[in-house]
Amino acid sequence: MCCCWVCLQWAYIAFLGVLSYFVLTDLQPFTSMSSLSHCEWILVVWFISHIVEELMQVTTNAIRLK
């Protein structure tokens, strides 16, 4: 349990680092999906994976409560 928590904290810090790098160096107005940089793609995939994980936790908790 403790190791998992530590890994999640490091992953969150890495996410914040990549987001900060993107905002400070590569932020430009959105024109099309083909114009996204590598950093933006990493953030999009990472963000979607967080949303999916949260939805899985919500559904799992809802099933457990029944």
Residue ranges per domain, the chain? 2-65
SS3 of 11, please? Answer: helix
From the number of C-beta atoms within 10 Å of its C-beta (0-12, 13-18, 19+), residue 22 rates as: middle
Please report the DSSP string for 15-61 in residue order: HHHHHHHHHHHT------GGG--HHHHHHHHHHHHHHHHHHHHHHHH
Q: Among residues 49, 60, 54, which one has the least CA distance to residue 11? A: 49
pLDDT band at 66 (very low <50, low <70, confident <90, very high): low
User: What pLDDT digit, counting tens, does each position of 5-37 carry?
Assistant: 788 788 889 989 999 999 999 888 888 888 888
Q: How confident is the model at residue 4 (pLDDT cuts 50, 70, 90)?
A: confident
